[in-house]
């Protein structure tokens, strides 16, 4: 590949990666403000966590809608409209007068942000396949995974001189920037002759066809259930680090953001080694790593071990997510070029829907125990492993 082509690929990955970061920024930037929002609205930790749940639901359901629309109308126009909606929803969150409206606007914000995630991945499949798709997807994740690293630190920095309202003002500015980038920098990658018919029943049939594909469902569940465990971590650590261990918002942001590094390491190892080690082998390794890390987290939580003893296995747990998601995505997408938007939507919706279910459960025993977090991430890791062996390995024996 020539230097000019390399530069073009990197610029495209940077642009699509920025759209991918919209999800992590929407989820993570306001996490350091959770205790402040509880006090401001005179509400409970569970209700504030419900605003995260609403956002995750929006991100999940939105991907189903936006993925299908992008198969019908192309990638660019649905993304353009979604960025405009995201801008307005972020401003509405900033000026919400009560927790109920904040929860409602967070759903809309998540719904709009979903387009950035699902359409950027569909564009990648429009342009690449095979190991080239794995390499490009790992490059896209290199940019996209900076979101979990930068977002909480940025949120903490904003909170050092303003309130949680400033966080949503900043997100509205991010939406404005991406709206401009969509308008002036993004080219259409799905020509009219490759688009699906504008027919609701046809879209349902597409999803039905995907859900009957045993291996696709196996990869989808293995990836999706694993990422759902991360959302439990996202929901629980603001209270665990700050309320149980007494970390300041800045220290929390640094600890939380450090796991963006582990995501990057996990995804880049797969991308750089995919020509030597199969994606199947990486996927299995990531699943076992998650099991071991989550068992360690649960033990530390039960004995109330020191902070570093909790942070280290969580680092490896999140690294396992980087490995499994980077390996599972190209395996699932490889044979879905004719409906990449719908396939990317299903791959994206499962993590957010399951994450919306598990994230409030982290606070079920109160704000002063980490045991529910350990139980949840162990259960999600075990369920992901079960889905892989039952749906993928049984139908492709000898591939690993």
Look at residue 121 in the predicted model and tell me its pLDDT.
Answer: 85
Spell out the domain ranges in the chain.
Answer: 8-185+198-393
What is the spatial distance between Cα 67 and Cα 119, in angstroms, rounded to a whole number? 6
Residues in the chain: 400
- Please compute the mean of the pLDDT values over residues 188-212 and round it to a whole number: 80
List b or e across 69-88, with b for residues whose CB sees 16 or more CB atoms inside 10 angstroms: bbbbbbbbebbebbbbbbbe
Q: What percent of the chain has pLDDT over 70?
A: 92
3-state SS class at 132 = helix
What is the spatial distance between Cα 87 and Cα 168, in angstroms, rounded to a whole number? 10
Look at residue 1 in the predicted model and tell me its pLDDT.
Answer: 47
Look at residue 160 in the predicted model and tell me its pLDDT.
Answer: 84
Q: Chain-wide mean pLDDT for the chain? A: 84
Structure tokens at 378: 């162990």
**Which is nearest to 67 in space by CA: 52, 82, 56, 51?**
82
Look at residue 207 in the predicted model and tell me its pLDDT.
Answer: 83
Q: How confident is the model at residue 130 (pLDDT cuts 50, 70, 90)?
A: confident
Q: How confident is the model at residue 175 (pLDDT cuts 50, 70, 90)?
A: very high
Look at residue 337 in the predicted model and tell me its pLDDT.
Answer: 60
Among 33-47, 136-150, 157-171, 258-272, top mean pLDDT goes to: 157-171
- Please compute the mean of the pLDDT values over residues 14-43 and round it to a whole number: 86
Q: What percent of the chain has pLDDT over 90?
A: 29
Look at residue 48 in the predicted model and tell me its pLDDT.
Answer: 87
Q: Any idea of the CA torsion for 360, 63, 210, 9, to the nearest 10 degrees?
A: -120
Q: What is the pLDDT of residues 209-237, one digit of tens each?
A: 888 888 889 999 998 899 888 878 877 78
Q: What is the pLDDT of residues 46-88, one digit of tens each?
A: 788 889 889 988 988 888 888 888 888 889 999 999 999 999 9
- Please compute the mean of the pLDDT values over residues 121-132 and round it to a whole number: 82
Cα-based distances in Å from 39 to 33, 48, 163, 230: 10, 10, 12, 26
Q: What is the pLDDT of residues 285-317, one digit of tens each?
A: 999 999 999 999 999 999 999 989 999 999 999
Q: How confident is the model at residue 364 (pLDDT cuts 50, 70, 90)?
A: low
- Please compute the mean of the pLDDT values over residues 187-216 and round it to a whole number: 81
pLDDT above 90: residue 333: no
CATH architecture for residues 8-185+198-393: Up-down Bundle (1.20)
- Please compute the mean of the pLDDT values over residues 326-347 and round it to a whole number: 78
pLDDT above 70: residue 398: no
The C-alpha angle 253, 270, 130, rounded to 5 degrees, equals 130
C-beta neighbour count of 185 within 10 angstroms? 12
Q: How confident is the model at residue 9 (pLDDT cuts 50, 70, 90)?
A: confident
């Amino acid at each position: 590949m020539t230097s000019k082509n390399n530069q073009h690929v990197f610029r495209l990955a940077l642009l699509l990666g920025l759209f991918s970061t919209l999800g992590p920024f929407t989820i993570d930037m306001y996490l350091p403000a959770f205790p402040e929002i509880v006090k401001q609205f005179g509400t409970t930790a569970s209700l504030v966590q419900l605003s995260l749940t609403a956002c995750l639901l929006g991100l999940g359901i939105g991907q189903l809608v936006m993925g299908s629309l992008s198969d019908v109308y192309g990638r660019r126009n649905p993304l353009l409209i979604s960025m405009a909606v995201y801008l307005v929803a972020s401003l509405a969150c900033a000026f919400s007068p009560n927790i109920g409206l904040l929860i409602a606007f967070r759903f809309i914000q998540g719904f709009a942000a979903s387009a950035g995630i699902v359409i950027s991945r569909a564009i990648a499949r429009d342009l690449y396949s095979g190991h080239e798709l794995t390499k490009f997807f790992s490059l896209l994740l290199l940019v996209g995974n900076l979101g979990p690293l930068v977002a909480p630190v940025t949120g903490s920095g904003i909170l050092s001189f303003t309130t949680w309202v400033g966080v949503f003002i900043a997100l509205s500015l991010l939406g404005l920037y991406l709206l401009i980038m969509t308008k002036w920098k993004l080219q259409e990658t799905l020509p009219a002759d490759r688009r699906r018919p504008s027919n609701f029943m046809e879209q349902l049939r597409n999803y039905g066809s995907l859900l009957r594909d045993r291996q696709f469902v196996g990869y989808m569940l293995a990836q999706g259930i694993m990422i759902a465990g991360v959302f439990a971590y996202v929901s629980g650590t603001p209270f665990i680090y700050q309320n149980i261990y007494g970390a300041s918002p800045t220290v929390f942001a640094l600890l939380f953001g450090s796991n963006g590094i582990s995501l990057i390491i996990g995804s880049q190892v797969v991308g750089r080694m995919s020509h030597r080690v199969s994606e199947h082998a990486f996927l299995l390794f990531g699943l076992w790593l998650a099991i071991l890390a989550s068992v360690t987290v649960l033990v530390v939580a039960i004995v109330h071990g020191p902070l570093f003893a909790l942070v280290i296995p969580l680092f490896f747990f999140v690294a396992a997510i980087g490995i499994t998601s980077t390996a599972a995505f190209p395996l699932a997408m490889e044979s879905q070029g004719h409906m990449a938007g719908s396939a990317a939507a299903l791959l994206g919706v499962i993590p957010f829907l399951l994450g919306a279910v598990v994230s409030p459960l982290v606070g079920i025993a109160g704000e002063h125990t980490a045991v529910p977090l350990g139980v949840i991430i162990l259960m999600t890791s075990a369920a992901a492993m079960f889905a892989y062996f039952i749906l993928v390995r049984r139908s492709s024996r000898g591939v690993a």
